[in-house]
Homo-oligomer: A and B are copies of this chain.
Amino acid sequence: MSQSSPRPDGRADDQLRPMSFERDFTEMAAGSCLVTFGRTRVLCTASVGDGVPPWLRNTGRGWVTAEYSMLPGSSPERIRRRTSGRDQEIQRLIARSLRAVVDLEAMPEMELTVDCDVLQADGGTRTASICGGFVALHDAFTRLVAAGDLPASPIIEELAAISVGIVDGAPRLDLPYVEDSTAEVDFNVVMTGSGRFVEVQGTAEGQAFERSQLDALVDLATGGIADIVEAQRALLATPPAARA
Protein backbone atom coordinates (compact mmCIF):
# COMPACT_ATOMS: atom_id res chain seq x y z
CA MET A 1 0.00 0.00 0.00
CA SER A 2 2.88 2.45 0.53
CA GLN A 3 6.52 3.10 -0.30
CA SER A 4 7.41 3.73 3.31
CA SER A 5 10.00 1.86 5.39
CA PRO A 6 9.34 -1.85 6.06
CA ARG A 7 7.39 -2.80 9.20
CA PRO A 8 9.40 -4.17 12.17
CA ASP A 9 7.84 -7.62 11.79
CA GLY A 10 7.94 -7.62 8.00
CA ARG A 11 4.19 -7.53 7.45
CA ALA A 12 2.47 -5.73 4.60
CA ASP A 13 0.79 -2.49 5.68
CA ASP A 14 -2.65 -4.05 5.29
CA GLN A 15 -1.84 -7.38 6.94
CA LEU A 16 -3.04 -8.52 10.38
CA ARG A 17 -0.68 -10.08 12.94
CA PRO A 18 -1.08 -13.85 13.51
CA MET A 19 -4.44 -14.15 15.23
CA SER A 20 -6.06 -16.95 17.24
CA PHE A 21 -9.11 -17.54 19.42
CA GLU A 22 -8.57 -20.24 22.09
CA ARG A 23 -12.08 -21.13 23.20
CA ASP A 24 -12.74 -22.31 26.79
CA PHE A 25 -9.20 -21.56 27.88
CA THR A 26 -10.80 -21.54 31.36
CA GLU A 27 -13.97 -23.41 32.26
CA MET A 28 -15.57 -21.69 35.22
CA ALA A 29 -17.32 -18.78 33.46
CA ALA A 30 -20.18 -19.38 31.03
CA GLY A 31 -17.96 -18.32 28.11
CA SER A 32 -14.19 -17.96 27.88
CA CYS A 33 -11.74 -17.12 25.11
CA LEU A 34 -8.00 -16.46 25.07
CA VAL A 35 -7.52 -14.16 22.08
CA THR A 36 -4.11 -13.55 20.51
CA PHE A 37 -2.95 -10.89 18.03
CA GLY A 38 0.82 -11.29 17.67
CA ARG A 39 2.22 -11.04 21.20
CA THR A 40 -0.94 -9.40 22.59
CA ARG A 41 -2.95 -11.92 24.61
CA VAL A 42 -6.23 -11.21 26.41
CA LEU A 43 -8.27 -13.64 28.48
CA CYS A 44 -11.96 -12.82 28.00
CA THR A 45 -14.65 -14.42 30.14
CA ALA A 46 -18.41 -13.89 30.16
CA SER A 47 -20.14 -14.39 33.53
CA VAL A 48 -23.86 -14.48 34.15
CA GLY A 49 -25.16 -12.51 37.15
CA ASP A 50 -28.44 -12.21 38.96
CA GLY A 51 -30.56 -9.25 38.09
CA VAL A 52 -29.76 -6.00 36.34
CA PRO A 53 -28.55 -2.55 37.39
CA PRO A 54 -31.15 -0.50 39.34
CA TRP A 55 -32.21 1.66 36.38
CA LEU A 56 -33.28 -1.43 34.39
CA ARG A 57 -35.32 -3.13 37.13
CA ASN A 58 -38.82 -3.97 36.07
CA THR A 59 -38.19 -3.05 32.45
CA GLY A 60 -38.01 -6.65 31.26
CA ARG A 61 -34.70 -5.93 29.53
CA GLY A 62 -31.30 -7.47 30.09
CA TRP A 63 -27.86 -5.84 30.18
CA VAL A 64 -24.31 -6.51 29.01
CA THR A 65 -21.38 -4.79 30.64
CA ALA A 66 -17.59 -5.16 30.51
CA GLU A 67 -14.47 -4.66 32.57
CA TYR A 68 -10.92 -4.28 31.30
CA SER A 69 -7.68 -4.59 33.18
CA MET A 70 -4.01 -5.22 32.50
CA LEU A 71 -2.28 -7.78 34.72
CA PRO A 72 0.69 -6.20 36.53
CA GLY A 73 3.16 -8.49 34.73
CA SER A 74 1.64 -7.97 31.27
CA SER A 75 4.07 -5.20 30.41
CA PRO A 76 7.88 -4.85 30.64
CA GLU A 77 7.34 -2.15 33.26
CA ARG A 78 5.07 -3.48 36.00
CA ILE A 79 1.57 -1.96 36.06
CA ARG A 80 -0.07 -1.05 39.37
CA ARG A 81 -3.39 -2.74 40.26
CA ARG A 82 -5.87 0.12 40.06
CA THR A 83 -8.55 1.12 37.59
CA SER A 84 -7.04 4.05 35.74
CA GLY A 85 -8.95 6.60 33.71
CA ARG A 86 -7.65 4.84 30.60
CA ASP A 87 -9.02 1.49 31.85
CA GLN A 88 -12.43 3.01 32.49
CA GLU A 89 -12.54 4.58 29.05
CA ILE A 90 -11.64 1.25 27.45
CA GLN A 91 -14.18 -0.78 29.38
CA ARG A 92 -16.90 1.69 28.47
CA LEU A 93 -15.91 1.27 24.80
CA ILE A 94 -15.94 -2.55 25.03
CA ALA A 95 -19.32 -2.64 26.75
CA ARG A 96 -20.94 -0.17 24.34
CA SER A 97 -19.62 -2.13 21.38
CA LEU A 98 -20.85 -5.49 22.64
CA ARG A 99 -24.31 -4.09 23.35
CA ALA A 100 -24.52 -2.90 19.73
CA VAL A 101 -24.82 -6.51 18.54
CA VAL A 102 -27.08 -7.81 21.34
CA ASP A 103 -30.86 -7.42 21.33
CA LEU A 104 -31.29 -6.45 24.99
CA GLU A 105 -35.06 -6.59 24.58
CA ALA A 106 -34.75 -10.28 23.76
CA MET A 107 -33.07 -11.04 27.10
CA PRO A 108 -34.86 -11.39 30.43
CA GLU A 109 -33.62 -9.26 33.37
CA MET A 110 -30.17 -10.78 33.60
CA GLU A 111 -26.74 -9.16 33.34
CA LEU A 112 -23.72 -10.63 31.59
CA THR A 113 -20.29 -9.22 32.43
CA VAL A 114 -17.45 -9.65 29.96
CA ASP A 115 -14.09 -9.42 31.74
CA CYS A 116 -11.08 -8.70 29.56
CA ASP A 117 -7.82 -9.29 31.40
CA VAL A 118 -4.70 -8.56 29.41
CA LEU A 119 -2.12 -11.28 30.07
CA GLN A 120 0.42 -9.78 27.69
CA ALA A 121 0.30 -6.32 26.13
CA ASP A 122 1.86 -5.47 22.78
CA GLY A 123 -0.53 -2.89 21.29
CA GLY A 124 -4.17 -3.29 20.29
CA THR A 125 -5.36 -4.66 23.64
CA ARG A 126 -8.71 -2.88 23.49
CA THR A 127 -9.56 -4.10 20.00
CA ALA A 128 -8.40 -7.64 20.81
CA SER A 129 -10.65 -7.48 23.90
CA ILE A 130 -13.65 -6.65 21.71
CA CYS A 131 -12.89 -9.48 19.28
CA GLY A 132 -12.34 -12.07 22.04
CA GLY A 133 -15.04 -10.69 24.29
CA PHE A 134 -17.54 -11.23 21.48
CA VAL A 135 -16.59 -14.94 21.30
CA ALA A 136 -16.90 -15.39 25.07
CA LEU A 137 -20.26 -13.60 25.10
CA HIS A 138 -21.51 -15.63 22.14
CA ASP A 139 -20.66 -18.92 23.86
CA ALA A 140 -22.21 -17.79 27.15
CA PHE A 141 -25.49 -17.04 25.37
CA THR A 142 -25.36 -20.36 23.53
CA ARG A 143 -24.96 -22.19 26.86
CA LEU A 144 -27.81 -20.20 28.43
CA VAL A 145 -30.03 -21.33 25.55
CA ALA A 146 -28.83 -24.93 25.97
CA ALA A 147 -29.63 -24.75 29.71
CA GLY A 148 -33.11 -23.45 28.96
CA ASP A 149 -32.48 -20.06 30.58
CA LEU A 150 -33.02 -18.17 27.32
CA PRO A 151 -35.40 -19.01 24.46
CA ALA A 152 -32.88 -17.95 21.80
CA SER A 153 -29.55 -16.18 21.63
CA PRO A 154 -29.98 -12.38 21.51
CA ILE A 155 -26.80 -12.00 19.43
CA ILE A 156 -27.65 -10.10 16.22
CA GLU A 157 -24.41 -10.39 14.28
CA GLU A 158 -20.62 -10.62 14.69
CA LEU A 159 -18.50 -7.85 16.18
CA ALA A 160 -14.83 -7.13 15.59
CA ALA A 161 -12.38 -4.28 16.02
CA ILE A 162 -8.89 -3.30 14.94
CA SER A 163 -6.41 -0.47 15.36
CA VAL A 164 -4.95 1.41 12.41
CA GLY A 165 -2.51 4.29 12.35
CA ILE A 166 -0.17 6.42 10.35
CA VAL A 167 3.45 5.48 10.92
CA ASP A 168 6.25 7.12 8.98
CA GLY A 169 3.54 8.75 6.87
CA ALA A 170 1.95 5.44 5.85
CA PRO A 171 -1.41 4.02 6.95
CA ARG A 172 -0.83 0.64 8.63
CA LEU A 173 -3.11 -2.07 10.02
CA ASP A 174 -2.93 -3.67 13.48
CA LEU A 175 -0.10 -1.79 15.20
CA PRO A 176 2.15 -3.52 17.73
CA TYR A 177 3.50 -1.39 20.59
CA VAL A 178 6.65 -0.40 18.77
CA GLU A 179 4.61 1.14 15.96
CA ASP A 180 1.78 2.43 18.15
CA SER A 181 4.17 4.43 20.30
CA THR A 182 5.49 6.36 17.32
CA ALA A 183 2.27 6.64 15.28
CA GLU A 184 1.27 10.13 14.20
CA VAL A 185 -2.39 9.21 14.10
CA ASP A 186 -4.14 6.37 15.93
CA PHE A 187 -7.62 5.00 15.11
CA ASN A 188 -9.64 2.28 16.76
CA VAL A 189 -12.53 1.08 14.63
CA VAL A 190 -15.32 -1.30 15.66
CA MET A 191 -17.59 -2.85 13.04
CA THR A 192 -20.29 -5.47 12.74
CA GLY A 193 -20.22 -8.66 10.68
CA SER A 194 -22.31 -6.91 8.03
CA GLY A 195 -19.71 -4.17 7.58
CA ARG A 196 -21.35 -1.30 9.39
CA PHE A 197 -19.66 0.97 11.96
CA VAL A 198 -20.18 0.82 15.71
CA GLU A 199 -17.35 3.09 16.88
CA VAL A 200 -14.75 5.22 15.16
CA GLN A 201 -12.21 6.82 17.49
CA GLY A 202 -9.38 8.71 15.88
CA THR A 203 -6.74 10.73 17.68
CA ALA A 204 -3.91 12.90 16.43
CA GLU A 205 -0.93 11.82 18.50
CA GLY A 206 1.66 14.14 17.13
CA GLN A 207 0.01 16.58 14.78
CA ALA A 208 -3.48 17.07 13.42
CA PHE A 209 -4.51 15.04 10.36
CA GLU A 210 -6.16 15.64 7.02
CA ARG A 211 -9.52 14.39 5.81
CA SER A 212 -7.77 12.21 3.21
CA GLN A 213 -5.85 10.44 5.98
CA LEU A 214 -9.06 9.85 7.89
CA ASP A 215 -10.56 8.23 4.78
CA ALA A 216 -7.54 6.00 4.12
CA LEU A 217 -7.47 4.74 7.70
CA VAL A 218 -11.16 3.89 7.74
CA ASP A 219 -10.69 1.95 4.48
CA LEU A 220 -7.77 0.02 5.93
CA ALA A 221 -9.68 -0.90 9.10
CA THR A 222 -12.67 -2.06 7.06
CA GLY A 223 -10.53 -4.61 5.27
CA GLY A 224 -8.85 -5.92 8.43
CA ILE A 225 -12.12 -6.33 10.28
CA ALA A 226 -13.57 -8.39 7.42
CA ASP A 227 -10.69 -10.87 7.91
CA ILE A 228 -11.32 -11.11 11.65
CA VAL A 229 -15.04 -11.65 11.19
CA GLU A 230 -14.28 -14.50 8.79
CA ALA A 231 -12.16 -16.20 11.48
CA GLN A 232 -14.88 -15.72 14.09
CA ARG A 233 -17.49 -17.23 11.76
CA ALA A 234 -15.35 -20.30 11.14
CA LEU A 235 -14.86 -20.82 14.88
CA LEU A 236 -18.45 -20.20 15.92
CA ALA A 237 -19.92 -22.49 13.27
CA THR A 238 -19.32 -25.24 15.85
CA PRO A 239 -21.14 -24.83 19.17
CA PRO A 240 -19.06 -24.76 22.38
CA ALA A 241 -18.57 -27.97 24.39
CA ALA A 242 -21.48 -28.93 26.61
CA ARG A 243 -21.10 -28.25 30.34
CA ALA A 244 -21.83 -30.81 33.02
The answer to whether residues A85 and B78 also contact, given A73-B32, A199-B202 and a CB cut-off of 8 A, is no
* Residue A10 lies at the interface, judged by CB distance under 8 Å to chain B: no
Tell me the number of copies of this protein: 6
Partner of A196, one of B120, B209, B222: B209
Interface string of A121-150 (1 = CB under 8 A from B): 100000000000000000000000000000
Is A108 part of the contact surface with B, judged by Cβ < 8 Å? no
Contact present for B85 and A207 (CB under 8 Å): no
Q: How many residues on A have C-beta within 8 angstroms of the other chain's C-beta atoms?
A: 59
Q: Does A72 contact B (CB under 8 A)?
A: yes
Residues A72 and B45 in contact in the complex (CB < 8 Å), given A113-B78, A207-B100: yes
Contacts of A235 in B (CB 8 A): none
Nearest CB of chain B from residue A11's CB, rounded to whole Å? 19
Contacts of A72 in B (CB 8 A): 45, 47, 67, 113, 115, 117
The yes or no answer to A192 lying at the interface (CB within 8 A) is yes
How far does the Cβ of A172 sit from chain B's closest Cβ, in whole Å? 18
Q: Mark A90-110, 1 if CB is under 8 A from B, else 0.
A: 011000100010000000000
Given contacts A43-B119, A92-B85, A119-B26, contact A197 B191 (CB under 8 A): no
Of A14-22, A210-218, A226-234, the one contacting chain B is A210-218
Q: Which of B88, B196, B209 interacts with A88 by CB under 8 Å?
A: B88
Bound-complex Cα distance A197 to B215 (A): 12
* A198 vs B207: C-alpha distance when bound (angstroms): 8
Closest to A46 in B: B73
A239 at interface, CB cutoff 8 A: no
Task: Note all chain B residues with C-beta closer than 8 A to A197.
Answer: 202, 204, 208-211, 214
